[in-house]
Amino acid sequence: MSQNPTLSGVTPEGTAVKERFDRCVIPVYGRFDMVLTRSEGSYVLDDRNRRYLDVGAGVAVCALGHCHPAIAEAISRQVRQLIHVSNLYYHDLQGRFAEELVDLIGPGKCFFCSSGVEANEALFKLARKVGSESGRFEVITCQNSFHGRTLAGISATGQQKVKTGFEPLVPGFRHVPFDSLKAAEEAISPATIAVMIEGIQGEGGINVASPEFLLGLRSLCDERGLLLLFDGVQCGHFRTGRFQSYQRILEGYAAGEGFLPDAISMAKSLGGGFPLGAIWVNERYADVLGPGTHGATFGGTPLASAVGLAVLAEIEASSLEQNARDVGDCLRVSLMRLQEQYPAVIKEVRGLGLMLGVEFAESFSKLLTKERPISLQVVEAVQREGMLTIPAGQRVIRFLPPLNLKREEAEEAIVILQRTIEKLIAWNIS
C-alpha cells in the first residue's frame, strides 16, 4: 500500500522506521504509508502528531480502545505477582476466566491459546477427534469465510487468494455458499463431522447469517450427528451487542431459545490488545480433548487470564454490551442516511452492533484508479481525513470500533466519511 502516491508520507524518523521494516521484516503485510506512535481511547497518533479516530480498533481487537487503564492496571499488577507458569500446574486465574466464559455461553469447558487461528485449530482437532472412531474428518465451511493463516486455517478459509501457492492443503474442508442451508445439506458426505461458520463474516465483507440459517444448521447437525462450530473470533465478545453473534441474531426467535453451538472459537477482543485466544466446548464434547491431545505453551497464563478477566470486568462495569448496541444502532442509522444521500456511492450498509460494513457501488469505481480495490482506496482517502477503517474484499470498508465508542465519536466518524465522499466526488468533477 506504500505505493499510494497521494499520501503525504512520514517524518525522517518515520522514514527510518519504514526502511528498517524493508530491510528486516518479512513483507507478508501490505502496510499503509503511516507510522503510528501513540494512542489514547478511540484515537491513535502518527509520527507527525496527526490524530486519527480509529474505528478499526486493530481489526476488532482493542475492545476497550487504546491503552485503557483497566488493562494497564491488570497487566502491571499481574506482572509483579505471577506472569507465567506452564500448564503443568494449576493457578487461580485461568479457571476463573474459563468460568466467566462458561457463564456467558452455557455449560461446557474452555481451552486457552494466544490467537484466533490457534483457537480454530483446536476446533478442527476437536472435530477430528470426535469423528475418529467413525472415520469422519470433513468440515464444511463457507465461501468467503476467513479462519486464519495456518495450513488448516487457509484450508478451512473459503477464499482462494489465501490458498494459492500453499498447496497441497490440509484435506477435509469443503466450502458452501454462506447462508444457504440447502447447500450445506447437499455438501454433507459420509466423511463429514462438522459445519463451521462465522455468525457474521468479517473478512468476507460483513455478511450476517440469517436466523433461519442458524436454526436450520442446528437441526441439520443434530439430525446428521455433526458438530456445529462457530468462529467467533471477529464477531464475538459483545461486538454485536451480545456476547456471541448468534445470541443477537436469534433475539426474538422463540426457536432460538437455548440455542447453543457445539464449540466456539474466540480471540481478538478477548484480550483487548493482549494476545489471547480461547475455545468453549459444550458439555457433551468438553472432555474429548483429554490429557496429551492438545496444548499451547502460552495458553491461559496468569498474565493473559488476568487481562481477559479485566476486559470482561470493564465491559460489565461500563455496560459496554448495551453501548455496542446503542452506539452501533446510531452509527448504522447514520450510515444508512449517507447511503440515501449518496445512492451512487454507497450500495449497502450491513452488520449488527459495532460490526458494520459499507459496500461501495460499482459505479463509484469511476472516481478511483482501476488497478486497486475500491475498498483500499476509500480506506486511504478516509485516512487522509483523519480516520482509520478496515478494508474487506473489493468494495467494503469495515467499522469495528472499540466497544466503548462514544456517540460523539460515532458522529465524528460519519462527518469524516461524508467529507471523504464529497472530496472524492469533487475531484472527479473538477
Ligand X SMILES: Cc1ncc(COP(=O)(O)O)c(C=O)c1O
Q: Say how many CA atoms lie within 13 Å of 189 toward its Cβ.
A: 13
Region binding ligand X by CB under 6 A among candidate stretches 132-140, 142-150, 393-401, 402-410:
142-150
Q: What cell numbers appear for 172 in the block?
A: 477435509
Helix H or strand E encompassing 427: helix 407-429
User: Minimum distance from CB of 200 to ligand X (Å)?
Assistant: 9
Spatial contact of 244 and 69, defined as CB atoms under 8 Å apart: no
Question: Is 202 near ligand X (CB under 6 A)?
Answer: yes
The 3-state secondary structure of 346-413 reads EEEEEEECCEEEEEECHHHHHHCCCCCCHHHHHHHHHHHCCEECEEECCCEEEECCCCCCCHHHHHHH
Q: What letter does residue 210 receive in the DSSP assignment? A: P
**C-alpha grid cell, residue 154:** 487457509
Give whichever of 112 and 364 is closer to ligand X, judged by the CB atom. Answer: 112
Q: Residues touching ligand X: how many (CB under 6 A)?
A: 15
CB-nearer residue toward ligand X: 266 or 346: 266
Binding span for ligand X by CB under 6 A among 3-11, 30-38, 228-236, 335-343: 228-236
In this chain, which stretch among 33-41, 84-92, 102-110, 115-123 interacts with ligand X, using CB under 6 A? 115-123
Stretch that binds ligand X, among 33-41, 66-74, 76-84, 196-204 (CB under 6 A): 196-204
Q: Which residues of 185-219 are buried (b: 16+ CB within 10 A; e: fewer)?
A: bebbeeebbbbbbbbbbbbbbbbbbebebbbbbbe
Q: Report in angstroms how near the CB of residue 357 gets to ligand X at its nearest.
A: 13
Residue nearest to ligand X (CB): 116
The least distance separating ligand X from the CB of residue 112, rounded to whole angstroms, comes to 13
Nearer to ligand X, 18 or 147 (CB): 147
Q: Which stretch binds ligand X (CB under 6 A): 26-34, 114-122, 322-330, 413-421?
A: 114-122
Decide: is 148 part of the binding site for ligand X (CB under 6 A): yes
Q: From 90-98, 140-148, 325-333, 415-423, give the range in contact with ligand X by CB under 6 A.
A: 140-148
- State the minimum distance, in angstroms, from the CB of residue 161 to ligand X: 14
Comparing CB distances to ligand X, the nearer of 141 and 192 is: 141
* Residue 328 contacts ligand X per CB under 6 A: no
Could you tell me which stretch among 32-40, 141-149, 184-192, 248-256 binds ligand X (CB under 6 A)?
141-149
Burial class (CB in 10 A: 0-12, 13-18, 19+), 29: exposed
| Among the listed residues 222, 212, 306, 308, the one whose alpha carbon sits nearest the alpha carbon of residue 253 | 212
Q: Which stretch binds ligand X (CB under 6 A): 19-27, 166-174, 198-206, 250-258?
A: 198-206
Instruction: Report which secondary-structure segment, H or E, holds 45.
Output: strand 43-46
262 binds ligand X (CB under 6 A): no
Q: Is 198 helix (H, G, I), strand (E, B) or coil?
A: coil
Site string for ligand X, 47-86 (x = CB under 6 A): ------------x---------------------------
- Distance, CA of 175 to CA of 189 (rounded, Å): 13
> What letters, b where the CB count within 10 A reaches 16 and e where it falls short, cover 376-407?
bbbbbbbbbbbbbbbbbbebbbbbbbbbbbee
Q: How far is the CB of 261 from ligand X (least distance, A)?
A: 14
Question: Contact between 115 and ligand X (CB under 6 A)?
Answer: yes
Q: Which of 33, 138, 231, 321 binds ligand X (CB under 6 A)?
A: 231
What are the grid coordinates assigned to 325, written together?
448496541
Sheet of 43-46: strand order equals 36-40, 43-46, 51-54, 387-388
Instruction: Please report how close the Cβ of residue 275 comes to ligand X at its closest, in angstroms.
Output: 8
Task: Please state the closest distance from residue 201 (CB atom) to ligand X, in A.
Answer: 8
Binder among 33, 198, 321, 409 for ligand X (CB under 6 A): 198
Among 128, 147, 175, 325, binds ligand X (CB under 6 A): 147
Cell of 182: 440447502
The dihedral built from the CA positions of residue 350, 351, 354 and 356, taken in this order, carries a sign that is: negative
Nearer to ligand X among residue 146 and residue 360 (C-beta): 146
Q: Where are the beta strands (DSSP E) in 152-234?
A: 173-176, 192-197, 200-201, 207-208, 227-231
Q: What are phi and psi of 365, to 5 degrees?
A: -60, -20
CB of 1 to ligand X, least distance (A): 18
| Cα distance between residue 48 and residue 51, in whole Å | 9
Among 46, 54, 179, 203, binds ligand X (CB under 6 A): 203
Site for ligand X contains 267 (CB under 6 A): yes
Tell me whether residue 147 is exposed, middle or buried, using C-beta atoms within 10 angstroms of its C-beta: 0 to 12, 13 to 18, 19 or more. buried
Note the residues at the interface with ligand X (CB under 6 A): 59, 115-117, 120, 146-148, 198, 202-203, 231, 233-234, 267
